[in-house]
Amino acid sequence: MLKRRLLNILKKNTLSHTSQFSFNQNTVSSFSCTGLNKRGMTDLRSPSEPRVFPASGWDIVDPSLPIEEESIPTYRPEKFYPVRIGEIFNHRYQVVGKLGYGSSATVWLCRDLLDHRYIALKVYTASTTATREIEVYNHLRSIQSNHAGQSCLRPLIEIFQTRSPNTECVHICLVHPPLGISLDQLTRLLPHRVMSSAMVRTTIRNILAALDFLHTDAQIIHTDLQPSNILLGIKDNSILSKFEEAEFEAPVPRKTLEDRTVYLSRRLPLSYGTPVLCDLGEARLGTDQQKGDIMPDIYRAPEVILDISWDYKVDIWNVGMVIWDLFEHRHLFRARDPEGNLNDGYHLAEMQAVLGSAPPALLARSERSLQFWDENGKWKGTAPVPDYNLEALEQRLQGDEKGDFLRFLRRMICWLPEERATAKELLFDPWLMHGLFK
């Protein structure tokens, strides 16, 4: 009865998206042409007229100053599609503003001139292949499930290709429903830049619901959980029209170069919607016996650092890392040497302090373990084990609440993957359910 009540609450409080795909094969080259329906007939819906955006009125950025994607160490301008505000993609998506950027893509808010709605357009760099993400979305499309966690995942609307006008490079473009700001952006707006216990609970319930769907019904491991990949849903679409109008009233600063314009991103207003798990670009099909380096560096699970085969429990470790970052004033692990360089020895030494000694069962699985522990499991790494534990690091809570929170956290962050709870088990943890039925 208790589990049924919680599942009903999740169904009521998670976002409801309709996912419409415009492709039906596993290759990028097979996407349908815009403007044609399933029978190949011309779509007779009346399109909106594209808007003419201002040709002046913005601040000019000094061309010598790197901004946005230019500040990425691996940035190569010829690899990025030179998106222009006002440009129309795939004969239907008019760009109205820049939402963000990364090392492999830029993201833009667009008006869908055919369906009269807003969408988020992710334009990949020419050097990036989205094969894995396309494969994952195709797999999700094939699943027949009524799992509530599906609505906590960002769906895909369409994929198409476009050619750069400058280099003739081909760029993959993904179309998603628009979402609000990410959790890392949200925490910067909060008092002391951390969430309350209630906010963490609400957020993590949705993320665990999404993971339970991925792990059980879809057999997918996300591998890249972090606050920047969890976005707030949008309850009131007026914030999108206000975003567009702001570009007319006060165009964003930009840098105009010979072959492109580099824009500053415009942040969306706070949307107060339900958190949604995004970005399946690093996801893996199959929940057992995976290999390879994954996860954001400070979030890596011990089995990943020790080059052991891993499974879906890396996502559970990741949830613990995200919870700590949302609730505490510092990362749980720095994973850096005194010079600030990423260092596996220092990372494992911090884990030794927080989790206690690594169990022999784990060390026996790794050929790397002898670099850091001797044959008896005693730490011998060059990095010193810090003189603290998890109780000392957690300083926001007291008494029973602190004990319950740390017990909940330890169900996720433990050396052995098989000892970590599943997403479904965590959903019914007393700390997470606190206050749910009041």
Active-site residue list = 224
278 and 229 Cβ atoms separated by less than 8 Å: yes
99/263 Cα distance (integer angstroms): 10
CA dist 103 to 71, 76, 125, 166, Å? 10, 10, 8, 19
CA dist 346 to 6, 384, 386, Å? 40, 7, 9
- Residue in this structure with the two tokens 């999404």, named with its chain if needed: 210
220/351 Cα distance (integer angstroms): 27
Instruction: Give residue 32's identity as a one-letter amino acid code.
Output: S
274 and 14 Cβ atoms separated by less than 8 Å: yes
| Rounded (10°) CA dihedral 395, 401, 404, 406 | 0
266 is written with which tokens? 């415009």
Greatest Cα pair distance in the chain = 73
184 is written with which tokens? 């890392």
Per DSSP, 228 falls in state: G
16/202 Cα distance (integer angstroms): 17
Closest among 323, 344, 287, 345 to 410, alpha carbons compared:
323
30 and 23 Cβ atoms separated by less than 8 Å: yes
Q: Which residues pair with 106 in a beta bridge?
A: 101, 123
Question: What's the per-residue H, E or C state across 240-267?
Answer: HHHHHHHHHHCCCCEEECCCCEEECCCC
Q: Which residues pair with 97 in a beta bridge?
A: 109
CA 292 to chain centroid, in Å, comes to 19
95/121 Cα distance (integer angstroms): 8
String of DSSP letters for 124-161: E-TT---HHHHHHHHHHHT-----GGGGGB----EEEE
Residue 255 labeled ligand binder? no
For residue 214, the tally of other CB atoms under 10 A from its CB is 27
Query: Binding-site residues for ATP, please?
Result: 122
